[in-house]
Amino acid sequence: MDTVTQMLFGATVAQAGFRRRLGRKALVVGAIMGLIPDLDVAVGWIWGPFASWQYHRAFTHSLLFGPLVGPIFAWMIWRWQRSRHPALTADEEQHMLRAWVWLCVLGLFTHPLIDAFTSYGTQLLWPITTTRFAINSMPIIDPLYSLVLIAAVAVGIAVKKRPRLAQDVAAAALLFIVLYSLGGWALNTQVERVAREQFARAGEVTAYPLLFQPYYRRVLVTTPDTAYVGYYSVLNPKPIDFQEFPIASGPEVEAVRATHEGAVFEWFSMNKPLWRSTPQQDGSRIVEGYDLRYGMPGPSNLSMWGVRARVMPDGTLAGPVERFSTPREATGDQFRQFWHDMTGL
């Protein structure tokens, strides 16, 4: 999920479990714990976009990160709080330390769990394996998901003297998030079943949530030489109009795949790349790889991003493999068409 939503989620977890013991400052710490795992995006600023693909949602998003690092943050917070309240008894100090440890561990631990419900891919078992897990239940940005958390945190901030109410509201918000996410998972399974029944040919079928809502899905069917892309809405069910995209192969494609960047791209796309090879006047070829998981109706129907390289006639690359993004429309007409396709209205 987006970083703001992750901070809201961390604050809501803290409010639900620790507001009565630790006060409203628990919300602040919970939000910080929700932010910390996403600080790994800094690797992209330092080492470039391929490093971002490779290391974002890795160590800091492992299920081991919270139990290993959370107690360290908790100890620092506890030391700071103890210095401000020197009159606490030994039992009170230990009780407070345990609460901070649980808050920090849960705040860090739940971050990768809700990320795994998106399509991006999360290395939950790093360093045991770099396998990326993606349930394809929720979009990375979902306004309803975020608004529920905003409402819960707002109540937690507003009700100073009613911590029980704040905890109950936060618990209700978390229950909604769980049911909403599981509902998105069920919708994805339903869309994949519809696609298999319609396609009626051999091919791997996968559905992916589009932005901002869980009801309208991108449907991908892949065979060894062709990818088929379509869209289906559970709110406006109708036959899927698949668009066919040939998958290129050949020595020039293999030359790009053999590079470090090409291998990272294929791994990042979770084995859902589409390769194109376009001949040029000088005999070279422009080889492009597209990440089929992410796309939208319109100019970016095939994909939102990919990699590109020029391969010379002798099979060598004329330059580095580069990352590119495809153009995306954000006009009022595009939004109205999206809304109509999703709802039928």
Domain presence at residue 63? yes
Question: How would residue 48 be classed by pLDDT, with cut points 50, 70 and 90?
Answer: confident
In which residue are the tokens 């309803």 written?
144
Question: How would residue 146 be classed by pLDDT, with cut points 50, 70 and 90?
Answer: very high
**Does residue 172 share a domain with residue 100?**
yes
Domain-terminating residue out of 152, 184, 216? 184
pTM, two decimals, is 0.90
Domain presence at residue 34? yes
Percentage of residues of the chain with pLDDT beyond 90:
80
Domain presence at residue 22? yes
Sequential DSSP letters for 138-177: S-S--HHHHHHHHHHHHHHHH-TT-HHHHHHHHHHHHHHH
Total tally of structural domains belonging to the chain: 2
Domain presence at residue 139? yes
Domain presence at residue 88? yes
Percentage of residues of the chain with pLDDT beyond 70:
99
CB neighbour burial string for 205-216, b if at least 16 within 10 angstroms, e if fewer: bbbbbbeebbbb
**Does residue 138 share a domain with residue 39?**
yes
Q: Is the pLDDT of residue 273 over 80?
A: yes
Nearest to 167 by CA among 14, 324, 329: 14
Position 92 scores a pLDDT of: 76
pLDDT digits (tens, 9 = 90+) for 278-292: 999 999 999 999 999
**Does residue 116 share a domain with residue 19?**
yes
Position 79 scores a pLDDT of: 87
pLDDT digits (tens, 9 = 90+) for 212-227: 999 999 999 999 999 9
Cα separation, 277 vs 282, in Å, equals: 14
Q: Is 344 helix (H, G, I), strand (E, B) or coil?
A: coil
Domain span holding position 173 = 3-184
Cα separation, 131 vs 27, in Å, equals: 32
Q: Is the pLDDT of residue 27 over 90?
A: yes
The residue type found at 272 is: K
Domain presence at residue 273? yes
**Does residue 252 share a domain with residue 132?**
no
Report which secondary-structure segment, H or E, holds 325.
strand 322-325
Q: Please give the order of strands across the beta sheet that includes 273-279.
A: 273-279, 285-291, 305-311, 322-325
**Does residue 16 share a domain with residue 122?**
yes
**Does residue 146 share a domain with residue 259?**
no
Nearest to 48 by CA among 329, 307, 330, 248: 307
What are the structure tokens assigned to 331, written together? 């006009």
**Does residue 251 share a domain with residue 180?**
no
Nearest to 220 by CA among 232, 233, 234: 232
Q: Is the pLDDT of residue 294 over 80?
A: yes
Sequential DSSP letters for 180-243: HHHHHHHHHHHHHHHHHHHH-SS-EEEEEE-TT-SSEEEEEEE-SSEEEEEEEETTS------E
Domain presence at residue 20? yes
Domain-terminating residue out of 184, 203, 232? 184
**Does residue 168 share a domain with residue 24?**
yes
**Count of alpha carbons within 13 Å of 84, Cβ hemisphere only?**
6
Domain presence at residue 251? yes
**Does residue 175 share a domain with residue 77?**
yes
